Amino acid sequence: MKKTSTITGHVDLSIPAIVLCLLLLLPGCGNTKNEHSNHPKTLKEVLKDKFLIGVALNSRQSSGNDTAAVRIVKEHFNDIVAENCMKSIEIHPEENRYNFTQADEFVQFGVDNNLSITGHCLIWHSQLPAWFCVDENGENVSPEVLKERMKDHIYTVVGRYKGVIRGWDVVNEAILEDGSYRESKFYEILGEEFIPLAFQYAHEADPEAELYYNDYNEWYPGKRETVVRLINTLKKRGIRIDGIGMQGHLGVTNPALEAYQETIDDYVNAGVKVLITELDVSPLPEPRRIGGANLADREAYRKEIDPYTDGLPEDVAIEWNNRMMDLFDLFLKNSDNILRVTMWGVSDGDSWKNNFPVSGRTDYPLLFDRDHQPKEVVTRLIQQLSEY
């Protein structure tokens, strides 16, 4: 766009110009020396030298229809991930049919708004289309066939967004809390080898893309030991892995921050970076204190475990804000080793937590409330980091 300029060579003190000059003399108005005028006001500004600050988008957001959420995304975040539309059931519903409509729209949203883009997720036992691991009789396919299918899926999806998507959750949630492998179809047919294969295919499809393993509840010692073993195996075999995604589906007291720190340390010592993914902190009672996101761990609705339908009492809101602040303090302390922190949704009304582990509750797990207003922790973070 061309800049407009005047070439008359004299200053024309018309009325608007005089008004402008007077305004410039008012304290804090256009005065570059004013000590507050240049202070950053958004999360992405204050965190820019620390780590990327990301958010998951649903398709109403990446299509631009949810304008209130889009305003927040553009203002505060610099990385996006698709909450659902890149999962295999959505993007590859039948063996010979891909559906890129929503994924393309999501990626375009990122490109148009100059955001870094995370791909989620390539190989996951859940939201997996029925055809993927079985033949026409419903029997498991052979290891060779499954390898071909995985390769085709990964080559096609990663290849389509090559050079545009910064990094991929290559494998999601393959390891259980006790450190054993989840008995998924992938594991049943290929054993542990399905994970190195998936990383290898993803690297072949886009050699520049960062590659991550993503899971929840990694502070369980058994689980993180197996994740560390996996990192070692990949590294020993020269297969690229950049980071471990630590899903943050947390409660206000569970888990302890020490366990979180130990997990970060273990991963960093194994030679990878950490990504805090899928962050949401629920202040609601945890019926069974299992934590995490295993979709099978559901609980029936009871009024007494849905106590805040009319809003969050002040003491609970204070506890929630303090917990989120403590978590961000921990992330900031580890910022040399953390590539990104991603919220799993824009505002409370969007969150999957309203339906997990109990359907139909009113939850408050995200940084922006149902009216799209920032919670106190957002203001505190911006203030604290601006003062450095």
The contact set with ligand 9MR (CB under 6 A) reads 83-84, 126-127, 172, 247, 278, 293, 295, 352
3-state SS class at 49: coil
Count CB-CB contacts under 10 A for residue 353. Answer: 23
Angle in degrees, CA 174, 258, 317, rounded to 5: 95
Give me the least distance between CB of 192 and ligand 9MR, in Å please.
Answer: 21
Shortest Cβ 371–ligand 9MR spacing (Å):
21
**278 belongs to the catalytic site:** yes
Hey, how many other C-beta atoms are within 10 angstroms of the C-beta on 261? 14
Cα three-residue angle 313-317-320, rounded to 5 degrees: 140
Residue with tokens 């029925």: 130
Smallest separation (angstroms) from ligand 9MR to the CB of 344: 6
Q: How far is the CB of 232 from ligand 9MR (least distance, A)?
A: 24
User: What angle (nearest 5°) sits at the alpha carbon of residue 383, between those of residues 42 and 320?
Assistant: 90
How far is it, in rounded angstroms, from Cα 61 to Cα 354? 18
Task: State which residue, 237 or 289, has the beta carbon closest to ligand 9MR.
Answer: 289
**C-alpha span between 260 and 272 (Å, rounded):** 16
- CB nearer to ligand 9MR: pick between 133 and 171: 171
Does residue 320 sit in helix, strand or coil? Answer: helix
CB of 226 to ligand 9MR, least distance (A): 18
Hey, CA dihedral for 20, 25, 28, 30, is it positive or negative? Answer: positive
- 124 versus 267: smaller Cβ distance to ligand 9MR: 124
Catalytic residue among 90, 173, 177, 286: 173
Which is nearer to ligand 9MR, 125 or 235 (by Cβ)? Answer: 125
Q: Which is nearer to ligand 9MR, 78 or 84 (CB)?
A: 84
Distances in Å between the Cα of 1 and the Cα atoms of 4, 5, 111 are 9, 13, 20
In the three-class reduction of DSSP (H, G, I as helix; E, B as strand; rest coil), residue 335 is classed as coil
Q: From the candidates 83, 210, 278, 286, give the one annotated as an active-site residue.
A: 278
Residues forming beta bridges with residue 277, ordered by sequence position: 247
Catalytic, 193? Answer no
CA angle, corner 168, sides to 113 and 131, nearest 5?
Answer: 115
172/184 with CB nearer ligand 9MR:
172
Q: Kindly tell me which of 15 and 296 has the beta carbon lying closer to ligand 9MR.
A: 296
Least distance to ligand 9MR from the beta carbon of 356, Å? 6
Instruction: Please give the Cα distance from 248 to 341 (Å, whole number).
Output: 9
Q: Closest separation between CB of residue 31 and ligand 9MR, Å?
A: 46
SS3 301: coil
Distance CA 18, CA 120 (A): 54
Element (DSSP H or E) covering residue 80: strand 79-82
Residues with a catalytic annotation lie at 173, 278
